[in-house]
C-alpha cells in the first residue's frame, strides 16, 4: 500500500509541473489593475529571456527576466501602449529579445537559415545517393576480359 501511494505521489510530482504553466511572476510584481496585468502578461510572453534564450520572460526565473517584467509593467503604468513598450524594449535589446522576430534584412538569417540548411542537406543526400547508386549498379566498372573470366572460374571451382 505504501508503495502504491509513493508511486502515485511520484507520478503526480512529475506530471503536474508539465500540465501547469511555469509562470515566474512574483506576487510583488503583479499590477493591481487586472487589465494592465493582462497586457503585461501578453507582452511578457512575447519577449525572450536573454539568459534562458528559449523561454519568455513570463516563464523565466532569471534575475534579468524579472527586471524586464518590472520594466514592462513600469512602462504600462506610465501610459505606454503595448506597441510602445515593445519598441522601448527592442530599442534597448534588439530584435533578439523578441520570441518572434520581424522579417527584415537584419533578421534574414534567422528566417532563411533553417531552410538553407535543410536545402543543403537535401542536395547533399541526393548527390550521395546518386553517386552510391552508380557504384552499386556497376555503371563505372568494365566487364571481365576472357582471361579474367577464366581465372575467376578456376578460383570458384577450386573452392568447391
Looking at residues 14-43, what average pLDDT do you find? 72
Q: What percent of the chain has pLDDT over 90?
A: 38
pLDDT number for residue 91:
92
pLDDT number for residue 26:
79
3-state secondary structure of 137: coil
Domain span holding position 59: 20-102
pLDDT greater than 50 at residue 14: no
For 38-65, how does the pLDDT look when each residue is reduced to its tens digit (9 = 90+)?
999 999 999 999 888 789 999 888 899 9
Looking at per-residue confidence, does 140 or 16 come out higher? 140
For 58-114, how does the pLDDT look when each residue is reduced to its tens digit (9 = 90+)?
988 889 999 999 999 999 999 999 999 999 999 998 888 998 888 888 888 878 889
How distant, in Å, are the alpha carbons of 2, 103, 142 from that of 150?
79, 69, 16
Task: Classify residue 13: in a domain, yes or no.
Answer: no
C-alpha cell at 138: 556497376
Task: Classify residue 8: in a domain, yes or no.
Answer: no
Task: Classify residue 12: in a domain, yes or no.
Answer: no
Beta-bridged to residue 98, according to DSSP, are 47
Are 78 and 140 in the same domain?
A: no
Are 94 and 48 in the same domain?
A: yes
Which sign does the torsion angle of CA 22, 23, 27, 32 carry? negative
| pTM, 2 dp | 0.58
Domain count for the chain, please give it.
2
Are 111 and 98 in the same domain?
A: no
Q: What percent of the chain has pLDDT over 70?
A: 80
Amino acid at each position: 500500500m505504501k508503495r502504491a501511494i509513493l508511486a502515485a505521489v511520484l507520478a503526480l510530482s512529475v506530471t503536474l509541473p508539465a500540465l501547469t504553466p511555469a509562470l515566474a511572476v512574483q506576487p510583488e510584481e503583479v499590477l493591481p489593475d487586472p487589465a494592465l496585468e493582462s497586457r503585461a502578461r501578453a507582452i511578457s510572453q512575447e519577449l525572450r529571456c536573454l539568459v534562458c534564450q528559449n523561454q519568455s520572460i513570463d516563464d523565466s526565473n532569471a534575475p534579468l527576466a524579472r527586471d524586464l517584467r518590472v520594466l514592462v509593467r513600469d512602462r504600462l503604468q506610465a501610459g505606454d501602449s503595448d506597441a510602445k513598450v515593445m519598441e522601448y524594449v527592442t530599442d534597448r535589446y534588439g530584435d533578439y529579445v523578441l520570441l518572434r522576430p520581424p522579417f527584415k534584412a537584419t533578421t534574414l538569417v534567422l528566417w532563411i537559415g533553417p531552410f538553407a540548411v535543410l536545402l543543403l542537406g537535401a542536395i547533399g543526400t541526393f548527390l550521395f545517393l546518386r553517386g552510391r547508386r552508380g557504384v552499386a549498379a556497376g555503371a563505372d566498372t568494365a566487364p571481365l576480359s576472357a582471361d579474367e573470366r577464366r581465372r575467376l572460374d578456376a578460383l570458384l571451382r577450386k573452392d568447391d
